[in-house]
Amino acid sequence: MDQNQFETVIGLEVHVQLRTESKIFCACSTEFAQPPNTNVCPVCAGYPGVLPVLNRAVLALAVRVASAFGCTVQESIYFERKNYFYPDLPKNYQISQYKVPLGKNGGVELETGRTICVERVHLEEDAGKLTHKEGGSLVDLNRAGTPLLEIVSMPDIRSPREAFEYLRTLKMILQYIEASDCDMEKGSLRCDANISLRRRGEERLGTKVELKNMNSFRGVRDALTHEQERQKEVLCAGRTVVQETRLWNVDRQRTESMRTKEEAHDYRYFPDPDLPDFSVPDELIAREAARVGELPLARKKRFAERYSLDEGQLEVLVGQKALGDFFEAALKYYSQPREIAKWIIGPFLEQVNALPQGMRGVSISSQNFAKIVQYFSEGKLNNLAAKKVLATAVLSTQDVDEIIREQGLEQISGEDELAGYVRDIISEQQEAVSQYLSGKTQAVMFLVGQVMKKTRGNANPKKVKALFEKELEKKRS
């Protein structure tokens, strides 16, 4: 059978942790990496008789996400209990949304021009965390009750590569609107995938397999690629795909059967009687929609049109919202987009990436940054000196002019001052001078080097070279 007769159909379920200070139904902190069971109270520990109260900030962020994806926010909101037993879920149910999700029918536009429909976004609480050790398992409830938003795509994705692109775009949007930090290492973004194959032209979906345990976007792509090939082989051999959940084994680079999938009815969903129905106020929807602002794809198009940057520059500047903001702020003080971009992507990012907090650890104002780039472009600072000033300025609010004065880094460009150095060196370095005069003109670079040494690197080397040539040619005649 021809392998190309199959079309791949993928849907993704993404769980993101919403960026709030406290949990979804209690006031416990959501801070990561705290000692086990310290961010816990009777509500999130599942004591009987306690009452959950919805965190207003969670609702606001969820509405913002729904708005960014163009989802319709449902009029009447309520929560349901999803019943199952697991040692990290002391209540024996998870508060979630089932029949009526917070938002419905949105989409994520990819750079390729394709739009992946977002079927639903719904709120739920996270469970605790189990650590399996020799002799037993440890339960940490710090994560229990952390607010999660589940984002479910329609089965619109047609290749593992497109799944990767969708995730990348989704993450960037969530970071732009400050809804989640999307840090997969901390578990604040998790992804499960459904994949099935069908014959081209066929409308009916094939039997799907759910994939879990992918710890990176690349892991998702690799797991889907492996699973796609596995299903092709099964179908080509005339066998049928079994509906099941499979785990991605990253060490062996293959998916492995875990269990057959539960059906929704196994969870016995029913409305949580402890949380009343409510409707999301129109003002809140309007306010959060206004906070969405410009999304990454729109920004990329705008930057490309307005600043004529190349693709690599655009990728970097749009990839992190704070970086793009800084770029545009600096342009207000020195309107040379390509120069500013070059200095941000090169020396500036080098400094930023060395900071544990990244852009959030930066103190330099966009005005001070623009000044450094301008001074370099105008020859007031040479490359080395500009980088030195930047290294100090990144962590400071001190004016750049002051830093330059303090560090004695101003480039010497004055003809008279430089001519003095040149004459001194000519009388000190007779050997190099005669070499030059006998035709070895490259000896001039040695002489320039001597002036640079004397001025501790602050002389303008181009001007020094020109002055040497002028003086030495005079001697020749």
Residue closer to Zn ion (CB basis): 43 or 372:
43
Report the distance separating Cα 83 and Cα 270, nearest Å: 9
Of 44-52, 62-70, 236-244, 373-381: span binding Zn ion (CB under 5 A): 44-52
CB of 55 to Zn ion, least distance (A): 11
> How many residues sit close enough to Zn ion to count as binding (CB under 5 A)?
5
| Residues 395-414 as x/- pattern, contact with Zn ion by CB under 5 A | --------------------
**Which residue spans within 110-162 are E strands per DSSP?**
115-125, 129-133, 136-140, 147-153
Residue closer to Zn ion (CB basis): 44 or 224:
44
Q: Is 386 in the site for Zn ion (CB under 5 A)?
A: no
Report the distance separating Cα 173 and Cα 394, nearest Å: 27
Q: Is 250 in the site for Zn ion (CB under 5 A)?
A: no
Residue closer to Zn ion (CB basis): 18 or 443:
18
Report the distance separating Cα 39 and Cα 63, nearest Å: 26
Report the distance separating Cα 257 and Cα 246, nearest Å: 4
CB of 251 to Zn ion, least distance (A): 36
Residue closer to Zn ion (CB basis): 52 or 324:
52
CB of 139 to Zn ion, least distance (A): 15
Q: Is 54 in the site for Zn ion (CB under 5 A)?
A: no
Residue closer to Zn ion (CB basis): 14 or 26:
26
Residue closer to Zn ion (CB basis): 26 or 418:
26
CB of 283 to Zn ion, least distance (A): 29
Residue 41 backbone zone (phi > 0: left; psi -120 to 50: alpha; other: beta): beta
Q: Is 26 in the site for Zn ion (CB under 5 A)?
A: yes
Among 7, 13, 41, 396, binds Zn ion (CB under 5 A): 41
Report the distance separating Cα 374 and Cα 381, nearest Å: 9
Of 36-44, 56-64, 327-335, 394-402: span binding Zn ion (CB under 5 A): 36-44
Of 41-49, 52-60, 211-219, 372-380: span binding Zn ion (CB under 5 A): 41-49
Residue 229 φ/ψ, nearest 5 degrees: -70, -40
In the block, residue with structure tokens 């840090």: 183
Of 26-34, 123-131, 174-182, 445-453: span binding Zn ion (CB under 5 A): 26-34
Residue closer to Zn ion (CB basis): 23 or 82:
23
What does the block give as tokens for 167? 């995730």
| Residues 331-350 as x/- pattern, contact with Zn ion by CB under 5 A | --------------------
Residue closer to Zn ion (CB basis): 81 or 208:
81
Q: Is 127 in the site for Zn ion (CB under 5 A)?
A: no
Q: Residue 11, SS3?
A: strand
Report the distance separating Cα 475 and Cα 477, nearest Å: 6
| Residues 215-234 as x/- pattern, contact with Zn ion by CB under 5 A | --------------------
Sheet of 244-249, strand order = 72-73, 103-109, 115-125, 147-153, 6-17, 189-199, 209-214, 244-249, 254-259
Which amino acid makes up residue 140?
Answer: D
Report the distance separating Cα 60 and Cα 289, nearest Å: 10
Decide: 444 and 465 in contact? Cβ < 8 Å.
Answer: yes
Residue closer to Zn ion (CB basis): 43 or 362:
43
Q: Is 28 in the site for Zn ion (CB under 5 A)?
A: yes
Question: In 3D, which of 429, 324, 421, 419 has the Cα closest to residue 366?
Answer: 324
DSSP symbol at 413: -
CB of 142 to Zn ion, least distance (A): 9
Q: Is 44 in the site for Zn ion (CB under 5 A)?
A: yes
CB of 223 to Zn ion, least distance (A): 34
Residue closer to Zn ion (CB basis): 51 or 236:
51
Work out the number of other CB atoms within 10 angstroms of the CB of residue 387: 18
Report the distance separating Cα 106 and Cα 118, nearest Å: 5
CB of 28 to Zn ion, least distance (A): 3
Residue closer to Zn ion (CB basis): 33 or 237:
33
Which amino acid makes up residue 166?
Answer: Y
In the block, residue with structure tokens 């903001």: 325
Of 28-36, 75-83, 197-205, 304-312: span binding Zn ion (CB under 5 A): 28-36
Work out the number of other CB atoms within 10 angstroms of the CB of residue 288: 23
Gyration radius of the chain's alpha carbons: 31
Residues of the shown chain interacting with Zn ion in the complex, contacts defined by CB under 5 A = 26, 28, 41, 43-44
